[in-house]
Structure 1
């Protein structure tokens, strides 16, 4: 179960075996069921997750009760309710396991200890933050000027697994449209 995490950390640059084992040792395996809530609105997020198998979704609920998906994470990626995890304030987001998942979880205190003491782990974290920022900016700026069909094409090009792994309702909330609009657009392709 830890081989994927080791490979993920190594993919971000050279790391000594001792440091790698220290990183791996800090993560604990957990299994989730479909729709298991890992962080809910109002909770303070104290964990960071590496996904061995499965899919996690980060979303919030607007004042009208609509779900707005911010991010999906699939195998070989990391995720948390970032704002809450970093600031240690109650979360505006929900982090949920969309399918039965095999995760490796690290406590916030251990996470930041590793980031402060193991340069390669700090690089992994920095790359994640950079990716999260760039991904958010791409979605915001791209989606503002796109019509529905262009948004769907964007997902097909950049995140094609979502369309086969995630419910159309969740994908629609990610694209900022209704499920029926997404269905109509998919039918036109």
Structure 2
């Protein structure tokens, strides 16, 4: 159950057995069902998650009631409702398990205790924050000037698993388009 997390941490630099054990002891198993809400709008996020299996989706709901997906996380990755988790303010986002998932979760207090006491864990956190920032910037700048077809091609190239694991509606909200537009663009790509 902890082997994937152990490999994830080891992939971010050398670490001693004692430090690795200290990290692993802070994580606890959480099994989720499809569409289980891990953090809802207005809640303060208290946990960070490593995904052993499954898929989590982070999204917000705009003033018109539309979902706007910010991020998907699949196996061997980490996620939280970052702004709420860091600031301890009510979340604007929803963090939901869109598949039955096996997660390893860590409480915020334990998380920051590890960041402050185990340099290798701090490195994992810093790399995650760098990845999240770069991913967000890449999506924002790439998508601002892109036509819909180019957005779909970007996902096909950079995040192909999304198209087979996630609903078309959720992928469309990630790309900033309607589900019907996404369907038309997929058909156009298949026929070209």
- TM bin, normalised by shorter chain, reads over 0.9
Report SS of the residue matched to 1:153: helix
Unaligned runs of 5+ in 1: none
Structure 2 distance, partners of 1:14, 1:159, is 29
2:192 matches 1:187: no
Aligned to 1:105: 105
Structure 2 distance, partners of 1:33, 1:154, is 30
Aligned to 1:156: 156
Instruction: Give the TM-score normalised by the residue count of structure 1.
Output: 1.00
- How far the C-alpha of 1:16 sits from its partner, in A, is 0.4
Aligned to 1:95: 95
- How far the C-alpha of 1:110 sits from its partner, in A, is 0.2
- How far the C-alpha of 1:55 sits from its partner, in A, is 0.0
Structure 2 distance, partners of 1:22, 1:75, is 22
Structure 1 distance, partners of 2:120, 2:157, is 30
Aligned to 1:69: 69
Instruction: Give the TM-score normalised by the residue count of structure 2.
Output: 0.98
Aligned to 2:171: 171
- How far the C-alpha of 1:45 sits from its partner, in A, is 0.2
Q: How does 1:46-57 map to 2 (within 5 A)?
A: 46-57=46-57
Structure 2 distance, partners of 1:18, 1:146, is 48
What is the total number of aligned residue pairs between the two structures? 189
Structure 2 distance, partners of 1:168, 1:24, is 36
Structure 1 distance, partners of 2:119, 2:30, is 26
Report SS of the residue matched to 1:26: coil
Unaligned runs of 5+ in 2: none
Aligned to 1:28: 28
What per-residue deviation string (whole Å, max 9, x for no partner) do you get for residues 7-64 of structure 1? 0000000000110011001000010000000000000000000000000000000000
Aligned to 1:45: 45
Report SS of the residue matched to 2:52: strand
What per-residue deviation string (whole Å, max 9, x for no partner) do you get for residues 117-146 of structure 1? 000000000000000000000000000000
